[in-house]
Structure formats: structure tokens, C-alpha cells
Amino acid sequence: MGKINGFTHFFFNTFNILDIPINKIMRKLLLLLISVILVSCQTSNSEIDVKVKNLLSQMTLEEKIGQMNQYNGFYNATGPAPVEGDQKEKYDNVKKGLVGSMLNVTGVDEVRAFQKLAVEESRLGIPIIFGFDVIHGYKTIFPIPLAESASWDLDIIEKSAKMSAKEASAAGLNWTFAPMVDITRDARWGRVMEGAGEDPYLGSLIAAARVKGFQGTDLSSYQTIASTAKHFAAYGFAESGRDYNTVDIGINTLHNIVLPPFKAAVDAGVKTFMNSFNDLNGIPATADKYLQREILKGDWGFDGFIVSDWGSLREMIDHGFAKDRKHAGELALNGGSDMDMESYIYLEYIKELLDEGKVKMTQIDDAVGRILKVKYELGLFDDPYKYLDNEREINVTGSKEILDATLEVAKHSIVLLKNEGDILPLKKNGQKIALIGPLADDKNSPLGNWRIAAENNSAVSVLEAMREYKGNRLTHAMGVKLVNKIPDGFHEEVSINETDKTGILNAQRVARDADVVVMVLGEYGFQSGEGRSRTNLDLPGFQQELLEQVYKVNKNIVLVLMNGRPLVLNWHNNNLPAIVEAWHLGSSSGTAIAEVLYGDFNPSGKLPMSFPRSVGQMPLYYNYKSTGRPGADGEDAGSVFWSHYQDELNSPLYPFGYGLSYTDFTISDISLSSNELSTNESITATVSVSNIGDVKGREIVQLYIQDKYASSTRPVRELKGFELVDLEPGETKTVEFTINEKLLEFYNGSNQWTAEPGEFNVFIGNSSKTKNSTNFYFR
């Protein structure tokens, strides 16, 4: 009834806004129409449930288990059929309907060949769902997700996912293993590049935006694909930042920090979940009943299905949790995992486990029913070949619409970290520019990691883009080279040179007479990502030495960073006049960077992760809790007995939410509509934001709240809202934030989501370090 009332309220408000008169008869007719629409939607959902139930009743146990099995692409499906060995067995299983899903099968012709086997050769003709890691684009690559998150722009993040889905679906795909919504506080962990950073509020909004982008408003459309919230859960809290490592956190951190983005994905309608490789508090996530059955499928009412991560069922043996493959299958199904990715354990052992009474038929039916439901919602039963159009694949792949979108998103993802003396933007005429660094003319690194379908060396390089600006004299030197390493079977490894310094002297020569030196340094594209944990967060190879040697002959340096994680930049901050965080920005990387460097686009990004002063600070995050001896960072506390380091400040070099612009903004003191908030009411926090500079710019105004005392300890501040404010020079706008009881809720000392009465501090500014504050009381 709440949905009907809400929809009706919106409907009639629209008529009032448009000043359309509504008489009693018209009102009754409109109410009838609204009821029909809502009943129709509900009926559509219930019709799918009926279809799933009917199909389940026709399926053999073997066919049901087959739906719980996922294969990686195992042969060229457009070629001759395999005649022996493992490939022949898998081929026959597809024909017998014993494969529910396949991954890494791409291209319309390949997908059609496999789908035809499943639909036209198997007894029931159940279509396969084809999955792929569409993480930040398919063939045309958008910025890595961490970079996109630096935009804080939910609309363009959703657009990125929408365009990625459009291109991937044109290649025959209907399911992506994204978004990764893991919150992480440790830049040593390579997969920080794949997520939204350290904050659960921002991470939740971005999770929802990406789900909506991939799935759209109509999942049955041939231009949308099912999405996956991963990795459930706490993968981003791997000890020491070492990938796949154990996770041991309390219930408070789990519910307040880790789970909110996953819940936001559920609320946004995400169709699948992927569990994580790690164990959580002693239980591998693949078999975690508390996470998967109690919270996800129980408390949250998730009606999609859960897929394991690659081989994670069999990895429970290595965890020391399962004694053998059969036991792993028992633990996984009982724990709530519905589909087995690349372990083949369900296919081998579920029937035997059922006969022994170690798993239940209701569990199998529930898992299969969830998988079938998503296939119905995708429209695969209505037309299993709906995604398979060769002409569309040609026209959509790499289209101007998608490429233009990559440039738009890339520009908004750049963060200006420092700009002393207004060295930026560069002048467009009459300057001698030296462009130096191993990444300056690299067309591969900007694509980042997790771009499996992209063509190597397909990005626009910084050198190419800067050459388009004809008014300056541009010279280029690599300084240190990129070198090939041994391939790892997934892609060819490349790294920054660690043995040859001979190019440094040439770089000095090129830099010596330049007006400005632009140095493009950082991580090679595959130095962050899965399995790419680091113990040092410096510039790899000889890049730091190159930088310091160039600095000796020309201090007028603009450092452009390409990287997939926060780095330690103390020397750079202390010595260089300008630093631009440009991440791995995808296909249009060089163009975006050049437009920012030359002032055609004013950077507006804000950091989604804190940048440390030292790797020894890891994990580092703004929403920490006060100790009993907090002290005052950087000040003489009069005693050594307070929470600090002897050799470094506690604070980050660049805090969460930080980022500069080519213009200057001021934010006024906070005005509260009331200093008291009551249950079921709200108050408003208001500031005025002014552009006091000479160019148009965007400020991201951020709201933080501190719960000063509660039944469990609370962070020193938490992000609770933000607004993107575009201002012309001299323009002022008013920004309002609504604060209500819902905004103050947290998972408390009694293990309940609630807002507790007390005193709260409010902060509004342009980063997590803002001191602009006031307070109110919640009664």
C-alpha cells in the first residue's frame, strides 16, 4: 500500500506542478489507471515465479545441478566440435543442459554457437547466461572505478556503466561481474583500483549508480545486462593488504563499514552477488551462512543468485575448512552459494550429497529457481538470441557515443593535488614544454587492469594529445623505459625499468631549457589490480631517481600521476609546484589529461581514498575512531603517552575528499534551521558557496556528522551528504542539506540499526578535514 500511495502522490503532484485541473471523475479514472499499472508490474513478477516453479517441476535432478554449474569458455565454438578429452565432456554437458552459465565467451558468433547447443540440443532448451568481467568498459575502456569515484558524480558513473553494458551486450553478453563494492582502507591491496575507496556512504551511492547503469530500468532490454555486487564480504579488509588474505573484523565494522554498499546494491535491484575469496572471522565467505543465508537472503530479502568467485569452492580445502572437494560442495551449498564458478564441484558431488542427506532438495530448488528467475528477467526464455546481432555488434563497438562518454568521465575523474604559483593551466602559445617519463607515450598503461576485451595499446597517450596543441614547442624524452617481463598466462607483464638508467641524461638535456616540464610517472597499468599487492607505495623502478635528476636542472615541474592506488608523495609535495592525479583513465586518457593541463577543462575531482605519508600508516582512513588518548597531531602533547608515531604524523598527506581547482571557492559558516532534532522530523544545514576566482568551476561541498557519544564508539566524523555545485566567476549559490533521524542511524552496541539521542557535530566543507562546524541535539 505504501508503494501505491507514494506513486499516487507523485502522479498527482505532477499534475499540480503542470497546473492541470483534476475533477472527481478524472481523479477516479487516474486512480484506476495507477492501480492497473501497479498490479500489472506485480503480476509480471509473479508470472515469472510461476514459470520458474513450472520449469523446476519438469527438470531432472541432473538438469537442476547443471544450472548451478558455470564453465569458462573452453574451445572455439565456431570451429569443429571437440572429439575427445575434457573439452568433449564439457561440450556434451552443454548439449545436455548441464551448464547454467559460461564466462569469457565473447562475440556474437561465439555466444550464438554455445547458446544454440544449449537451447536447441538439450531436452528443455534452457538458455545459458553469459558472464564477463565488464569492470570499467568492454572494448572501449572507461577510467578505473577508483578514478571514476573521484568524480563524485553519480550521473556520469551511471552513464559509464550504461555505456559499458551497451557495448558488452552488443557482443552477446548479458551478465557482468561488477560492480566491486568492497570498502578498503589499505592502498597496499591491489584491488583498490576496482572499487570506490574507503567510505561506506560514498561507496553505497556509487554501488547503486553502477547497478542502475548496467541494468537500466528494463533488464529485458537487449542493451542492459545483469550486474553483480562483489565480493561478499570484507575482501577489502585482507590483512596487510595482501590479496586473498584472511579477514578478522568485529561485528561493528562489518555492519557499519563493510555491508552498507552491498545493501545499497540490493536496494538498487542488483540481480547477482559474488562471494569473496577470503575467510571472514574464521569462515570462508563461500560457505558463510551468516552472510549469505541470514543477512543477504534473509534480512535483506535478496531474490537473485550468488555465484562463487573463480574456484573458491575448491579453495576451501586450502583454507583448511573443507577436507576434500565433496565436503567443499556440502559447505558451499549449505552456506548459500548458488552457482559454482570453475570448480565443477556441484556437478560432481551434489547428487551424492543429496543421497547422503548432507544437503537438501529445497536448497537445490532454491538455488536453481534463483538462477532461472534471472534468466527469465533478462528475457532469455522469450528469445535466447536477443543479444546476438552481428550488425549491432559492429555499429556499437567503439562507437563515437561510447568513446565520447569515456572522455567525459575521464576529465571529471582527474584530481588536482597541488598547483603553486598557478603553473597550471599551461599557456597555449609561446612556451617550451618538455614531456618526460616512461608513461608519457604509453598507450597501454592508461587502460589500467581489468580490461580483458580491450585492444592493447589502444588508449590515446599524453604525448599524442599534447601534440594536438600546436602553439608550444613540445619535446619528449622517456627517461627510463618500460620492459617486458615473463607473461603470467593472463596477459603480458610489463614493468618500469629497474636496470637501465641511460636515458636519464637525455631527459635532463631535454628538460634544461624548457619553460615547464611535464613528467608522466606512476604505475604501469597492471601494477594494480587482483594479485598486485605492494609493500612499497613509491614510484616503481628508477622513476623517482629520474624525477630528482630532472628537478636538479629544472624545478618547474608538473607531475602527472598514472596509478591505480594512493601513493606516498612526500618528496613530490614538498618540492614540486604542481601534481595532477590522473589515475588510469582508459581509452581517452591522454586527451582528458591534455585538456586539463591546458585549461580546457577545470579539474573538480576529490579523492575517494586518503593518500598516506608513509606505508607504515596503512590502513589509513578519515573516519577513524578516537582513542582514549587522542592527542593533537603534529603538536607537542607534553607526553609520549598518546596515540601517535614517533617518526610521522597520524594524518594523511592528502585527505579523503580533497581536491583543488583552477579557481577558488569560499564556503560560509553553517546555518542550522534548529539546534534540536526530534524523531520523524528534520532540520536543515545551509551554507553559501562562492566562486571568488576568474574561471568557471565545480566545488563538491561535503557534509560530515560526528555522533559525540553512543552505545558503541563512533568515528570522529562520517560523510553524510555532498552536492556538486557549478559556479561562474563571482557567482554564489546556497547549498542545503537535510538532516533527519535516518541519517544518524548506525549499527549500535545492542546490534541494532538505530539513531540514538545525543549531541552531534556538523561539518560542511570541501574535504574531510574541514573545520567549519556547528552542533545540534537529537532528542
Q: List the catalytic residues.
A: 309
Which grid coordinates are listed for 489? 598466462
Helix axes 85-95, 108-121, angle to 10 degrees: 60
CA proximity to 147, closest of 506, 440, 735, 585:
585
Residue 258: DSSP 8-state: I
CA proximity to 113, closest of 67, 75, 166:
75
Which grid coordinates are listed for 740? 533527519
Check: CB of residue 699 under 8 Å from CB of residue 604: yes
- Residue 591: how many other CB atoms lie within 10 Å: 25
40 by DSSP, 3-state: which?
A: helix
Check: CB of residue 522 under 8 Å from CB of residue 439: yes
Between CA 470 and CA 485 the distance in angstroms is 37
Q: What is the 3-state secondary structure (H, E, C) of 260-318?
A: HHHHHHHHCCCCEEEECCCEECCEEHHHCHHHHHHHHHHHCCCCCEEECCCCHHHHHHH
The answer to whether the Cα torsion of 584, 588, 594, 600 is positive or negative is negative
The residues pairing with 482 across neighbouring beta strands, listed in sequence order, are 496
CA proximity to 137, closest of 145, 129, 125, 147:
145
Q: What is the 3-state secondary structure (H, E, C) of 643-695?
A: CCCCCCCCCCCECCCCCECCCCEEECCCEECCCEECCCCEEEEEEEEEECCCC
Between CA 64 and CA 86 the distance in angstroms is 21
Helix axes 260-267, 200-215, angle to 10 degrees: 30
Between CA 589 and CA 603 the distance in angstroms is 14
Between CA 337 and CA 274 the distance in angstroms is 9
CA proximity to 652, closest of 628, 627, 624, 625:
624
Place of cell 589500467: 448
Between CA 92 and CA 118 the distance in angstroms is 10
Check: CB of residue 589 under 8 Å from CB of residue 454: no
